[in-house]
Amino acid sequence: MRRALLFALVLGSASANPTSAQTPRVSVVIRLYAQVDADGSRKPIVQVRDLLADRRWSQALESSFPVRLTFHLEIWRSRDGWIDEFQRATEWSTVIQHEPLQDQYRVTRIFLSGPEEFRFATRDSLDHWLRAPNLVEAIPAGVGTFYYNLKLSISVLSDEDMEELERFLAGEASGPASGRGSIGRGLRRLVLRLAGLPSEELEVRSERFRVERK
């Protein structure tokens, strides 16, 4: 709890410190895969940069606040002289946790097909994994000129969010928490409200590519 309160104080001092604006900020990049299919289709590659170099998120993790990244990838058909046509979207999430007792980091990626989990013994190994480019298995349908639009939401999870996530990963039906939380959890929720923990929305668009009939 003392670490959580200290984190709240650090956030307050960082916002008042003009040099904090000079620290690296998280960003996201989307580009087209170099391999081109026979019809011209190209898959997107997504890469998150400087998440752990950004003090807001590194301090949250080190204070045992889980951080969630939610990716929302859209496929659009470009139409000259008309409003672009939305085709479809896919979404996935990544939850990052620091486990101080084990002194390790746990990462859970959640896809429509189900979750997968990774563990990292060091911060450097976690940072290397987070920075790695990821090929997304998504391609447009039909012919025309297309592009990908990616929205990334970054936030800190509350206790209720984590309880629901743990129930989901355990295969249990989601539902409201029992409400029989400890005093420590009540104080933790208070800190979450008072600290003004960060959240961020990023949006990027890929280059356009042309899909022809095979």
Instruction: State percent of the chain over pLDDT 90.
Output: 58
Choice between 111 and 195, residue whose per-residue pLDDT is larger: 111
Closest CA to 52 of 96, 116, 8, 91: 96
Q: What are the tokens at 89?
A: 């979207």
The stretch 8-29 carries a mean pLDDT of 60
> Which domain does 101 fall in, by range?
2-157+184-211
Cα gap 183→195, rounded to integer Å: 18
The structural domain count of the chain equals 1
* 13 assigned to some structural domain: yes
- In the three-class reduction of DSSP (H, G, I as helix; E, B as strand; rest coil), residue 49 is classed as strand
* 168 assigned to some structural domain: no
pLDDT at 1 over 80: no
End-to-end CA distance of the chain: 61
* 188 assigned to some structural domain: yes
Q: How confident is the model at residue 171 (pLDDT cuts 50, 70, 90)?
A: low
Closest CA to 27 of 53, 52, 57, 48: 48
* 170 assigned to some structural domain: no
How distant, in Å, are the alpha carbons of 39, 163, 183 from that of 179? 55, 11, 11
Q: What's the mean per-residue pLDDT of the chain?
A: 81
**Token match 């987070």: residue?**
130
pLDDT at 34 over 60: yes
How distant, in Å, are the alpha carbons of 142, 147, 198 from that of 88? 12, 12, 30
The stretch 14-30 carries a mean pLDDT of 69
Q: Report the predicted TM-score, pTM, of the whole model to 2 decimal places.
A: 0.76
Q: How confident is the model at residue 176 (pLDDT cuts 50, 70, 90)?
A: very low
pLDDT score recorded for residue 67: 94
What pLDDT, in 10s, does the model give residues 75-112?
999 998 789 999 999 999 999 999 988 889 999 999 98
pLDDT score recorded for residue 20: 47
What pLDDT, in 10s, does the model give residues 120-169?
999 999 999 999 999 999 999 999 999 999 999 999 886 565 666 666 65
* 204 assigned to some structural domain: yes
* 131 assigned to some structural domain: yes
175 C-beta neighbours (distance < 10 Å), count: 9
Cβ atoms of residues 71 and 152 within 8 Å? yes
* 25 assigned to some structural domain: yes
pLDDT at 184 over 50: no
DSSP state of 157: P
* 172 assigned to some structural domain: no
